[in-house]
Amino acid sequence: MAVTAELVKTLREKTGAGMMDCKKALNETNGDMENAIDWLRKKGLSAAAKKAGRVASEGKVLTGSAGRRAILVEINLETDFASKSDAFNQFAGTVVQMALDHQPADLEALQATLYPTTGRPLHEEVKHQIATIGENMTVRRYASMTVSQGVVASYIHMGGKIGVLVALESAVADQALLQELGKKLAMHVAASAPLYLNRESVPAEAIEREKAILVDQARTSGKPEAIIEKMVQGRLNKFYGDVCFVEQMFIMDQDNSVASIVAAAAKTSGGAITVTGFVRFVLGDGIEKEEKNFADEVAAQLGS
């Protein structure tokens, strides 16, 4: 295939590589654009390769649902501006649909799933999307929840800054009631950030650590050990109320716990409703962001 100036220009726009490098890549791959991109990446000449080490802490948390299953995906790139681009949103939407269609068990399985329009594994497709979008990008986290009966409700806060799933197991026929309850509970999780579902799900080591702190605090009162034991139990109950989802006071009704709200909904619907789990993703959570000094940045670009 003849290598035209237009092909060279297109490859340069996609990869950010030099014009002569783009021409050589196309010559080496008989004018095949995708193989030429790979050729440049392998040589370390593609902008995508150079961008791979840059911090990607922006992007979006996205959700999708199908039947009694729902998923969350966090896709990161470098700037909030790029997360609003058509190219990014088309890619992100495709990843969500892939997760729904193929039902991968975990992130590794999702990364190995073939991207529908190119047939490449997702982890390889990301590298090509970096060249197109112009920023480093990662599919960072993925979670899936399924119920045997009932609903998995979802909520996305601030256009993708926080994403939540809440699973409700229930034989209640009124799906609208379950969805409304589930969404409100998901909004609660977004705002209140519980650490555990209930007391039974709190790890034993976390309880022992909290007890040790509470015992030390109580002993400063100088009260007898029997009284201290009661004080610790009372404070431990408050700890559960702070960190356990179903024991937290409901964000939309501070007079009632989440468990009480669910029980009231169950009474209204005439059937049992059980909260069986939740997932909460905060965009960029745990990623150490680069702190840039503007003056230093300008000086570096000027070579001073």
- SS3 letters across 135-202: CCEEEEEEEEEECCCEEEEEEEECCCCEEEEEEEEECCCCHHHHHHHHHHHHHHHHHHCCCECCHHHC
pLDDT band with cut points at 50, 70 and 90 for residue 275: very high
Tell me if 154 sits within 8 A of 180, measured CB to CB: no
Please give the backbone phi and psi of residue 72, each rounded to the nearest 5 degrees, phi first.
-125, 140
For the cut 90, the answer to whether the pLDDT of residue 170 exceeds it is yes
Q: Do 202 and 236 form a contact (C-beta atoms < 8 A)?
A: no
Q: How do residues 117-139 score in pLDDT, each as one tens digit?
A: 999 999 999 988 988 888 999 99
CATH architecture of 148-202+244-289: 2-Layer Sandwich (3.30)
CB-based burial of residue 41 (10 Å sphere; 0-12 exposed, 13-18 middle, 19+ buried)? buried
Q: Where in the chain is the domain with CATH 1.10.8.10?
A: 5-51
DSSP 62: E
At residue 33's C-alpha, the angle toward residues 31 and 38, to 5°, is 110
- Residue 226, pLDDT > 90, answer no
Six token digits for residue 158 = 């601030």
Instruction: Determine the Cα angle at 114 with ends 111 and 116, to 5°.
Output: 130
The residue type at 198: N
* The predicted structure's pLDDT at residue 60: 98
Start and end residues for every CATH 3.30.479.20 domain found in the chain:
54-146, 148-202+244-289
pLDDT-based confidence at residue 9 (cuts at 50, 70, 90): confident
- State mean pLDDT over 219-236: 89
Say how many Å lie between the first and final Cα of the chain, rounded.
Answer: 45
Let me know: does 204 contact 282? Beta carbons within 8 Å: no
Domain spanning 5-51: CATH superfamily: Ubiquitin-associated (UBA) domain (1.10.8.10)
| pLDDT higher than threshold 80 for residue 148 | yes
54-146 architecture in CATH?
2-Layer Sandwich (3.30)
Identify which of 277, 190, 192 has the alpha carbon closest to the alpha carbon of residue 243: 192
> Amino acid letter at 30?
N
CB 121 within 8 A of CB 114: yes
For 15, other C-beta atoms within 10 Å of its C-beta total 28
